[in-house]
Amino acid sequence: MAAAEEFVKANESYAQRFDKGDLPVPPARRVAVVTCMDARLIPSRFLGLEEGDAHVIRNAGGRAAEALRSLVISQRLLGTNEVVVIHHTDCGMLTFRNEDLHAKVRDELGADASHIDFLPFSDLEQSVRDDVRLLRESPLIGDDVTVRGFVYEVETGRLRPVD
């Protein structure tokens, strides 16, 4: 059975027990989390979130530059006033350079991806600092918005602050 079919079946069971259809659109905890799409990360579990608590924005590497559009919407239209940036150990974004992926796309698909910055990084903690700084210095993020950075350790499940 294809994954999509498994999802439909699982959703049927979920929908029978679903009782949260009346939650408000703005997140109750007024926070947006930017983190990686890595399947080993389940932010709701390691952050103690329930439905309706937070916006969780996921992309490859948990990069703030790619999340900026969503963060502006989250803050200006839905009232969040805090951003938590979470990168993680053993991240695939540490394993390549833009040039590597540009070549792979060209070789395997015959397509030119040279105009795309895939936002890889070589230093995990520095990538968190860079993303926190990008958000704090962005004119699109309010001065009243708190921005903090962390590393999630996939080996231990612990969240480590990055200053």
At 87-108, the pLDDT tens digits run: 999 999 999 999 999 999 999 9
pLDDT of 34 > 90? The answer is yes
pLDDT of 26 > 90? The answer is yes
DSSP single-letter state for residue 40: T
Q: Which residue has the tokens 């937070």?
A: 54
For the entire predicted model, the pTM comes to 0.95
Q: Taking residues 122-135, what's their average pLDDT?
A: 98
Q: Which two three-digit tokens encode residue 40?
A: 């080993």
56 phi, psi to nearest 5 deg: -120, 115
Say whether 71 sits in a helix, a strand or coil. Answer: helix
Q: Taking residues 12-24, what's their average pLDDT?
A: 95
Q: Which two three-digit tokens encode residue 55?
A: 């916006």
Q: Which residue has the tokens 């612990």?
A: 158
Contact 135, 70 (CB under 8 A): no
The confidence band for 1, taking pLDDT boundaries of 50, 70 and 90, is confident
Cα–Cα–Cα angle for 154, 156, 159, nearest 5°?
A: 75
Domains of the chain: 25-162 (3.40.1050.10)
Q: Taking residues 39-65, what's their average pLDDT?
A: 98
pLDDT of residue 77: 98
Helices 64-76/124-137 angle, 10° precision: 40
